[in-house]
Amino acid sequence: MSLKDRITEDMKAAMRAKDAARLGAIRFLQAAIKQKEVDERIVADDATIVAIVEKLIKQRRDSIAQFEQAGRTDLVEKEKAELALLQGYLPQQASDAEIAAAVDAAIAEAGGGMQAMGKVMAALKARLAGRADMAKVSALVKARLSG
């Protein structure tokens, strides 16, 4: 079953269960997918959907940080619930050991030094798309290249 089909089935289940919060989050995701398809005149495949989900997850994390600073715990809880739902659509996350091995391999391919940062991150983005938090990967790469 494709990721798009799974999202549609989850929406139907949320409708049957009358789970308004879950239904709203799934519809928001479907709207983002449809927008991408219309804008680029494509049919979204799993890789495209994973990229959209990652973007929405990043937005949720930013919102949570801002709402916590403002003391809006009601909105923080709503965003955390949506974040958990969106994370369910990402592929199995890579372990720390897998990420470290991928970073080491990419650095070996691109060469050392901070000037290789762009090449290393480009290679890692292709390998770890949807499977790792790229901000953490970037921090690990910087530490390895500078150290």
Q: What's the pLDDT score for residue 82? A: 94
What are the residue ranges spanned by the domains of the chain?
3-87, 96-146
Write the CATH number of the domain with boundaries 3-87: 1.10.1510.10
The 3-class secondary structure across the chain, one letter per residue, is CCHHHHHHHHHHHHHHHCCHHHHHHHHHHHHHHHHHHHHHCCCCCHHHHHHHHHHHHHHHHHHHHHHHHHCCHHHHHHHHHHHHHHHCCCCCCCCHHHHHHHHHHHHHHHCCCHHHHHHHHHHHHHHHCCCCCHHHHHHHHHHHHHC
The pLDDT value given to residue 147: 67
| Residue-wise pLDDT tens digits, 74-122 | 999 999 999 999 999 988 888 888 888 888 888 888 776 777 788 888 8
pLDDT value, residue 52: 93
The residue with greater pLDDT, 8 or 91, is 8
Q: CATH 1.10.8: does it fit domain 96-146?
A: no
Over pLDDT 90: what percentage of the chain?
A: 52
